[in-house]
Amino acid sequence: MTHSIFITGTDTDAGKTVIASAILQLAANKGLSTIGFKPVSAGCMQTAEGLRNDDALALQKVSTKQLAYEQINPIAFADPVAPHLAAKRMDVTVDMQQINLAYQQLVNEKADLLLTEGAGGWRLPISEGVFLSDFAIQHKLPVVLVVGMKLGCLNHALLTYQAICVDGLQVIGWVANQIDDQMLYLQDNIDSLKALIPAPCLGVVPKLNNTEQAAEYLSIDGLLQ
């Protein structure tokens, strides 16, 4: 049986890819087969093989099932902006059907864990009137919320948590990821989040020079129940 989860964040650069990669790494350490999926990316570099996104490459690297890049990241844009803006500039439309088809192909791979990483925050527009959160809602995916620990994170975290719940999905865990190493009252903010978010905290990840160490600060024991 494939466990499928969705990773979202409180904002762009909250640390979704770092945490997603760490979860995939921990699952692999438990002997599970894994796939990381980045359905939509922006801010890609042009290579001889085509557009490549650092986040998608990171997920591909730590996944135990080695698939073609286009399977991991079917929709990619060069401009480092919201996907619907990048698509408009290219005179194309991001097609949810294309995302669903790519997802189903990955489901057919029958990995133990299929982890989908969102882009930006929860309510990211991908085309007119369509949001990436619609994909998670359609497939009833349980959600892991990455909270980028910085000034303002309490508001961002609670609004995101509430939006996910209103959308009918379950937050099965959240991670405090320190992105501001000068944040005042860090522990007080973490304690507040633990009191305010009725979902398990999977870990507190400090500001790291080597993001591959993030797995050392997480526990996914209850994540795949």
**Residues that are catalytic:** 38
State the Cα–Cα distance between residues 163 and 180, nearest whole angstrom.
25
Write phi, then psi, for 124 (nearest 5 degrees).
-85, 120
Q: How does strand 125-127 pair with strand 130-131?
A: antiparallel
Tokens, residue 29? 């350490």
- Amino acid (1-letter code) at residue 45: M
Angle between helices 153-166 and 186-196 (to 10 degrees): 20
**DSSP one-letter string for 158-170:** HHHHHHHHHTT--
**DSSP one-letter string for 97-143:** HHHHHHHHHHHTT--SEEEEEEEEETT-EEETTEEHHHHHHHTT--E
Other CB atoms within a 10 A radius of the CB of residue 70 amount to 14
**Burial class of residue 98 in the structure, from the number of CB atoms within 10 Å of its CB (0-12 exposed, 13-18 middle, 19+ buried):** middle
Query: Are 115 and 20 contacting, i.e. CB atoms less than 8 angstroms apart?
Result: yes
State the Cα–Cα distance between residues 112 and 32, nearest whole angstrom.
6
